[in-house]
Amino acid sequence: MKIALIFGAPGKLSADLAEYFTHCRVYHICFVCEESGWAYDQHLLFRRFRWDGHYKPDLVELHECPFEITEDELREEMLGDIDAICNSDGSLWVRLLRTLYGFRDYAAWALRPLYHAIGKSTPNYGGRVCSGRIRDMGAARGFHALGTMFDAEPSPCDWARWFAAQDIN
């Protein structure tokens, strides 16, 4: 299993601003199974998509996943999100808020250059973000390098810095 870091394109304003404030152009992270051609990430829900051609190759950096995880486990994670929405207690809105990447999270993500400029991670308002989801899956398997699910939410840039420090490719 690989972890893909997705970089913002040169000349794209949001990527240029992120790089200016955070010294990092990475905006997304996902799991990639090169054998099957599938990728898994946190979007509005945890999802699976065809990897080939989804992102421009020159904007992707692939790394070995630092913890063991299988495609079956990733599919279970995806089905768990659907099950949480359909079958858990509480109103539909409460169930969605527990699982979806929320609107307050999008607002905080837009402000992330400001947070990073003062050395803080982007706050999380209860929604699931790509980098935090992968961190939580790793923590559940004993990988705690980026903290636990109770710590501040890491950004994709935090993962990029961690991989750079490990010199793992």
Task: Read off the pLDDT of residues 7-34 as tens digits, 9 standing for 90 and up.
Answer: 999 888 878 877 887 788 998 999 999 9
Q: Give the model confidence (pLDDT) of 119-137 as tens digits.
A: 776 666 666 778 888 998 9
What confidence score (pLDDT) does residue 110 get? 73
Check whether 52 has a pLDDT greater than 80.
yes
Q: Which domain holds residue 53?
A: 2-166
Buried b / exposed e over 89-105, threshold 16 CB at 10 Å, is: eeeeeebbbbbbbbeeb
Residue keyed to tokens 């169930």 = 95
Which distant-in-sequence residues (6+ apart) come within 8 Å of 140 by Cβ? none
Confidence tier at 72 by pLDDT (50, 70, 90): very high
Structure-token match 């939410």, residue found: 153
pLDDT digits (tens, 9 = 90+) for 74-114: 998 887 665 555 655 656 655 555 555 555 666 776 777 77
- Kind and range of the H or E run holding 64: strand 60-64
What CA–CA distance (Å, rounded) separates 135 from 155?
Answer: 10
Put residue 126 in one of left, alpha, beta given phi > 0 → left and psi -120 to 50 → alpha: left
Q: Which of 125, 135, 68, 79 is nearest to 102 (CA)?
A: 125
Domain count, the chain: 1
Strand 60-64, strand 46-50: pairing: unpaired
Chain centre distance of CA 150: 16
Angle between helices 156-166 and 130-139 (to 10 degrees): 50
Count of alpha carbons within 13 Å of 166, Cβ hemisphere only? 14
The token duo for 43 is 């979007």
Q: What percent of the chain has pLDDT over 90?
A: 37
Q: Measured between alpha carbons, how far is 3 from 159 in angstroms, rounded to an integer?
A: 10
